[in-house]
Amino acid sequence: MAGVMENQLQPSKRSGPLRIGPAESRSIGNRQRDKIVHAATQVFSRKGYDGARVDEIARHAALPKGNVLYYFKTKQDLYRVVIEQVVALWLDALGDIALDTSPRVAISQYITRKLALSRNYPEASRLFAMEVISGAPIIGEQLRSQLREWVEEKGLVFRRWQREGRMAAIEPAHAFFMIWAVTQTYADFQTQIEAVTGAKDYDAEIYDLAAPDVVAVLVRGLGLRDEELVT
């Protein structure tokens, strides 16, 4: 049902025209598919599903509209592929929380990784946000199954840490909600943050400055002590 499923999302600041992971599957017009999906991600993330025009996506991809509809039968199909890819990226970038270090290190790393994700794929973040705000018509099911399981599983770890007094007594799910909220705000609300700070070079002025603050506040807030690493 899905189709194209390796992640074709590319970090915002690309250098060459396209740069994909696996060297395989570079069949002639598969490259087109990539161009289209990439363009669609940009447009959908700014205009939402309804605001986006197939024609505009086509222009972004430097293709005639007819061509886009040749690769993706309908606008919805295209949207589905795009959002599915975003969710995939999201879910596995969620990654594992390292259990072989202290809670403080594990969560610091997690936050840093999540923040990097917002930085490198801001459009993906915004698209995800729009989907959810609109009631997650497409990805709702995945949230209810995969994401929920993930949270439940990691929640157990949090609870253990809490029993051991290595983390404050916060409802684990809410700890995640807060982490996600803070890290994603830098992508989703970029416009607002630019407006308030007057930043010109967002990445340099904002992310570099925010990263340590964000980690510090959350780590301290979640009560993650600076443990002595004893072997």
Partner DNA sequence: TTCAGGTTTGACCGAATGGTCAACTTTCGC
Partner DNA sequence: GCGAAAGTTGACCATTCGGTCAAACCTGAA
Q: How far is the CB of 185 from DNA (least distance, A)?
A: 29
> Please, which of residues 152-171 interact with a copy of itself by CB under 8 A?
168, 170-171
Q: How far is the CB of 230 from a copy of itself (least distance, A)?
A: 26
Say how many CA atoms lie within 13 Å of 209 toward its Cβ.
9
Q: Which is nearer to DNA, 65 or 225 (CB)?
A: 65
Amino acid at 160: R
Contact 60, 42 (CB under 8 A): yes
Contact 188, 156 (CB under 8 A): no
Q: Answer yes or no whether residue 138 interacts with DNA by CB under 7 A.
A: no
Closest by CA position to 56, among listed 43, 67, 45: 43
Q: How far is the CB of 1 from DNA (least distance, A)?
A: 17
**148 contact choice in DNA, a copy of itself, none (CB below 5 to 8 Å, kind-dependent):** a copy of itself
Binding DNA by CB under 7 A: which of 19, 73, 174, 200? 73
Q: Which residues contact 127 (CB under 8 A, 6 or more apart)?
A: 41, 44, 45, 82, 83, 86
Binding map of DNA across residues 33-52, x = CB under 7 A, - = no contact: -------------------x
Alpha-carbon span 139 to 130, nearest angstrom = 11
Contact 187, 227 (CB under 8 A): no
Binding map of a copy of itself across residues 200-229, x = CB under 8 A, - = no contact: ---------xx--xx-xxxxxxxx------
Residues that bind DNA (CB under 7 A): 27-30, 32, 52-55, 63-67, 69-71, 73-76
